[in-house]
Chains A and B, each alone.
Chain A
Amino acid sequence: MDTMPLCPSCGRPLPATAPKGLCPECLLKAGFQTEAQPTVGDPAAPKPPPFVPPRPEELARHFPQLEILELRGRGGMGAVYKARQPTLDRLVALKILPPGVAGDPGFAERFTREARALARLSHPNIVAVYDFGQAAGMPFFVMEYVDGPNLREVQRSGKLAPREALQIVTQICEALQFAHDEGIVHRDIKPENLLLDKKGRVKIADFGIAKLVGPAMPDAALTGAGEVVGTAQYMAPEQRERPLAVDHRADIFSLGVVFYELLTGELPIGRFAPPSHMAQVDVRLDEVVVRALQKEPARRYQHVSDLRTDVEHITATPPPKPPPFSLPVAPPVPPLPAMPAALVTPAAHPPEETSDCRILPAFILAFFFGWFGAHRFYVGKIGTAFLQLVTFGGFGIWTMIDWILILFAAFKDKKGRRVAKWI
């Protein structure tokens, strides 16, 4: 009987009668799906970018205080340039939002409010905002320049080791908790917004931009290419439905998606396998990731710091060993004080201790003495008892009797007399 080929996507057996040799379930499933949103900087997107970012020279006119160096990236939310502040002699990032965004009346006020909130976020893992405003109808931010790739670029060039992934996630947690404490939700956590500098520090960019650019903008201006604010695959379910009514737990979901992708290289869609099934990661992380990815916000982690605590605990403690199939070897029973040492069999002791060849003759000697209780003549009662204990020479009846008598001696009878005179 031949084994049937398997569908490369779902792994189910592929019968010879499958339509055009393709798995019918996967075909139907593909019929449901909407096309994945193109990611920022994906040059293969067959749609034109929603707005054409001005060339650096054109921009320079509007920003006399900056030296515009080059265009760094673009997407539905605008464009980012590398620039220099000559006065302070430092590199900065200039982010401009498309002109269409500023169209609605309440925008200016929201923009100011948002920018000021962002300015409060002074944290080593958050890209700092230096300045903001509007130039030629284009809202802009002047931000900290991060010299390094974003997480998407890092992932493209090769998968990260789980240890690195955990370090990155920990830093993100710190930054997010800081922002959440300030009442600010990011709303668009995704690998493109997570930058890594030369020192390997994570810097979260574009805080709150999603909210700012969000619902009031006219569709045509920004979504000409069909891109939605907040990348769909990283958005929490409640965020897709009511984008502005979400709280900080939406960030936790997005972080969960990023985490999963970092560990496994795949996105957690539909019924996804736990990370430990797909990569060599600690099985305890499965719970963490799954909890972050709960559809119901109430079932997720309620604070990013809790997620971080769990991750740190897992990092700091060794992974649980698989349980042994046989019962563990019982440790040697420690001799009870009243119990004759005779009852402790030598076999209970690990062989190493008896491998010394001097012990054996001593043992034989002690045994001999113990058997005949001979050492009583030399070292007295107490000494006898001690020796018997230590040398295990006590299989003999004399030892038994000795111990019983010692016990009697220790407990005088009611009359205060010794029970036996001859002890």
Chain B
Amino acid sequence: MLVRVRMNSNGTAAAGADARFVTTHWSVVLVAGRTDSTRAQNALARLCQTYWYPLYAYVRRRGHSPHDAQDLTQEFFARLLEHHTLAVADPNRGRFRSFLLSTMNHFLAHEWDKVRAQKRGGGQPLLSLDLARAEERYDLEPADHASPDKLFDKHWASALLEEVLNQLEAEYQQSGKAELFAALKQTLTGTRETQPYAELAARLGMNETAIKVAVHRLRKRYRELLRVEITNVVANPEQADDELRHLFAALAG
């Protein structure tokens, strides 16, 4: 069930660093207050595009059937993007993650029942949500006894990391270094001792020094992109550290 996408930027780093930075800030959305401004609209759409799966998983975890969850998720995002008002006084607005979760809870509690009878079919779909594959992916998840909220945070962290890695990969692909990325991406998680550089050097036909430099650059760029993405989903940069720590705790728990 692929819904046609309508967004200005294509959501990847190929759009250029500036464009990406400006259009994806959650703070941009908040400041706009109403999502009828195109920039805010795009920002919100881009954010939802990245982080919809954690919501889907949350809904499923709350007990809804796959079919219901798909309808729910789609309806939720459609309303979110169309309603134009984010001026609701909500302390959770600080972080996109909390905002999304609390808005979804509200939706589930109050609106879904009224709406489910009259869910819209076509209209102006604004997001590309691969809901069919969402269920497949949900199936592949390992059993986890955490609460739905906790699980949501874990999925969120995963989604964030996936987005950062996608951007990183896109950058490398653009400069023709796709193979290098594929070979070196393991070094993002390992300390030096677990990734023997000699092996990598042999595989890529580079000398060890060049490998070390390449790894250093990769990790540095990864950290930069991670920082940017985390800052994207909070209202102001001071919250970024806190958010990072929260995600770390969520994954560890």
Contact = CB atoms under 8 A, between A and B. Distances in A.
Interface in A42-58: 43-44, 46
A22 B140 contact: no
Q: Is the interface of A mostly helix, strand, loop or mixed?
A: loop
Given A7-B189, A30-B219, A35-B216, A24 B251 contact: yes
B105 interface: no
- Residue in A25, A26, A43 whose Cβ sees the most chain B Cβ within 10 Å: A25
B208 interface: yes
A100 interface: no
Q: Is the interface of B mostly helix, strand, loop or mixed?
A: helix
B149 to A, nearest CB: 18
Contacts of A27: 161, 165, 188-189
B247 interface: yes
Contacts of A16: 140
A24 B157 contact: yes
A64 B208 CA distance: 40
Given A20-B162, A25-B251, A44 B142 contact: no
Interface in A369-383: none
Interface in B141-195: 141-142, 154, 157-158, 161-162, 165, 169, 185-186, 188-194
A35 B137 contact: no
A149 to B, nearest CB: 20
Interface residues of A, number: 30
Contact of A22 (B137, B189, B226): B189
A31 B223 contact: yes
B244 interface: yes
B219 to A, nearest CB: 7
A17 B212 CA distance: 29
Contacts, number: 85
Interface in A169-209: none
Contacts of B219: 30, 35
B109 interface: no
Contacts of A20: 162, 165, 169, 185
B188 A22 contact: yes
Contacts of A44: 208-209, 212-213
Nearest to A44: B212
A43 B191 contact: no
Given A27-B161, A30-B188, A30-B222, 19 more contacts: A13-B142, A15-B142, A17-B158, A20-B169, A22-B186, A22-B188, A24-B157, A24-B158, A24-B161, A25-B251, A27-B189, A28-B157, A28-B161, A28-B244, A28-B248, A30-B189, A31-B223, A31-B244, A35-B219
